[in-house]
Amino acid sequence: MTGRVGLAGAVAVCVSLSAQAPSTSSGQGRESKPAAANPQIDQLKANVAQEVDGEKEDLARMNDMVFSFGELGFQEFETSKYLSAILEKNGFKIERNLAGIPTAWMATWGSGKPVIAMGSDIDDIPQASQKPGVAYHDPMIEGAPGHGEGHNSGMPMQIAAALAVKKIMEQQHLAGTLKLWPGVAEELVGTKAYYVRAGAFKDVDVCLFAHVADNMGVSWGDSSGSGLVSVEYSFKGESAHAAAAPWRGRSALDAVELMDVGWNFRREHLRIQQRSHYVISNGGDQPNVVPPNAAVWYYFRETDYEHIKEMNAIGDRMAKAAAMMTDTTVSMRILGSAWPGHFNKTLAEVMHANIEKVGLPQWSPEDVLLATSLQKEMKVPVVGLATKIQPLRGRASVPDDEKRGGPSDDIGDISWNVPTVTLRYPANIAAGPGHNWANAISMATPIAHKGIEYGAKVMALTVVDILERPEIVTQAWDYFRNVQTKDVKYVPLMRPDDKPAIWMNQQTMAKYRDGMKKYYFDPTKYRTYLEQLGIKYPTVR
Ligand SMILES: [Zn+2]
């Protein structure tokens, strides 16, 4: 099962460090400072890029393997076993059960400063099962989870980058420590605040995070997204025969519905920056039994800590009021939380210079056909795949009334504890709405394979910069201390007695895992997952 990932002696065909035409990188009036020419660093970068080239096949294999596991948050057992084994085989020391989370781990190699943490998420999306390389909805298993966000690609990319850098560090006897870690249950924003609380980033100098996208880019400063708390309200009433003695019952489901009605009225009088949504996670058993238990699960999103807390408090009050109306009782628990992210200016500038150096992949006609066919299918602009790098964007602070809310990622919590940036790499197609089967289509195809190869190079080159230029860490911390956290102090959104919700998704995964096992990638028999599935690339209408 474990594809062997060594730094094979395969002849590197080409060191693709040819720059694209440099796009202008203006940080809204602030100039990004490219590093002064340094032939020694350039040579190291050329070498490390060559190492990534040599790992290309291993990298694609890792990506496809994780795609085939398709595991939901907190249930990433196969994924974690597979990825951590590769690192262990390559000399990393693995600390398992990180922060008391069974599928979380920290892999460490090297010694001394700087300490560089490299992470990416690994969980997937409910009901997003989808055949890769097919430009329309065609699930592998109806109803099963799937990588409808592309989280199968980030850790393979980071591992390839780390192994390439490790090789160079060994050859050149460079000091430094590499720490690799997976974002478990990111879709539940379930773990990173707990990693922080457990001290996993205490000695870390910088954190280089990565997230799948449809282009290559990095940004710094205040993010336009939201932070959130994820709260489940569980109501308790009394069961009774719903026809024979309904007056003896107290319906917990009534409380859930009244809370939801209340919230939907209140919505009109909340700030426009907020986003809130819920699902009824327990609606009772059957109609002729007055539901003695029911639960509703809310995400409360806002733009900063105070507003998130305020929304959470409104939700709590509304739940108590619904319990009073129905003579039920309510308890609440936090299932996840995320601070809005803030990304480091120095690190973003260093990374952006490397993005310009590495450039974008050359897409084949087949890659472009898959992309344009999916874009037609989804009725979105037919733009194909990325051919121009995004400019470096950043602002230390964005006025609150310019914020419109949006998605959240619990990397936010890490970004308020250690200088952090997120590399967006081009492994997806600009077509799907996100959290959807359409976003899985490219994720085990040559599009993803090329995207992570180029992403791994950017990451590896950035690590080389940080190892060789100690002023980067100093400047990154200067921005972190004197700009980012000058007026804002990190306080976790979860309470001291909250614990990671490690039981979540257990039942769903148990329901589908046996069926999914038949489709696990077998790299001993097939070169790629598409080959194993017998899918013609691309398959279009
Ligand atoms: Zn994500």
CA 365 – ligand 1 centroid, Å: 28
- Higher-confidence residue of 514 and 33: namely 514
- 73-94 pLDDT, tens per residue? 999 999 999 999 999 999 999 9
CA 187 – ligand 1 centroid, Å: 7
Inform me whether the pLDDT recorded for 18 exceeds 90.
no
CA 142 – ligand 1 centroid, Å: 22
The first and second tokens of residue 157, run together, are 């990319």
Where do the H-state alpha helices sit in 336-445? 345-358, 365-377, 411-415
Mean pLDDT of 136-157: 98
Identify the pLDDT of residue 225: 82
- 296-354 pLDDT, tens per residue? 999 999 999 999 999 999 999 999 999 999 999 999 999 999 999 999 999 999 999 99
CA 411 – ligand 1 centroid, Å: 10
Whole-number Å distance between alpha carbons of 82 and 486: 41
- 458-483 pLDDT, tens per residue? 999 999 999 999 999 999 999 999 99
CA 211 – ligand 1 centroid, Å: 6
To the nearest whole number, what is the mean pLDDT of the chain?
93
**CB contact at 8 A, 97 and 500:** no
CA 209 – ligand 1 centroid, Å: 11
Inform me whether the pLDDT recorded for 536 exceeds 60.
yes
CA 243 – ligand 1 centroid, Å: 47
**CB contact at 8 A, 1 and 520:** yes
**CB contact at 8 A, 416 and 485:** yes
CA 212 – ligand 1 centroid, Å: 7
Lowest-confidence segment of 26-40, 157-171, 496-510 by average pLDDT: 26-40
CA 265 – ligand 1 centroid, Å: 31
CA 308 – ligand 1 centroid, Å: 21
Whole-number Å distance between alpha carbons of 425 and 122: 15
CA 186 – ligand 1 centroid, Å: 7
CA 336 – ligand 1 centroid, Å: 15
CA 141 – ligand 1 centroid, Å: 22
CA 11 – ligand 1 centroid, Å: 34
User: What 3-state class would DSSP assign to 343?
Assistant: strand
CA 10 – ligand 1 centroid, Å: 33
Inform me whether the pLDDT recorded for 96 exceeds 80.
yes
Whole-number Å distance between alpha carbons of 205 and 476: 9
Helix, strand, coil distribution of the chain in percent, nearest 5: 40, 20, 40
- 380-439 pLDDT, tens per residue? 999 999 999 999 999 988 888 888 888 899 999 999 999 999 999 999 999 999 999 999
Identify the pLDDT of residue 35: 55
Residues 6+ apart with CB under 8 A from 7: 51, 54, 55, 163, 164, 167
Taking the complete model, does pTM exceed 0.75, yes or no?
yes
Whole-number Å distance between alpha carbons of 326 and 314: 19
- 153-171 pLDDT, tens per residue? 999 999 999 999 999 999 9
Whole-number Å distance between alpha carbons of 65 and 519: 10
CA 514 – ligand 1 centroid, Å: 25
CA 148 – ligand 1 centroid, Å: 9
- 197-234 pLDDT, tens per residue? 999 999 999 999 999 999 999 999 998 789 999 999 99
CA 306 – ligand 1 centroid, Å: 24
Identify the pLDDT of residue 36: 64
CA 409 – ligand 1 centroid, Å: 7
From the list 343, 349, 341, 342, the residue with the least C-alpha distance to 466 is: 349
Identify the pLDDT of residue 403: 86
From the list 342, 406, 405, 414, the residue with the least C-alpha distance to 191 is: 414
- 485-502 pLDDT, tens per residue? 999 999 999 999 999 999
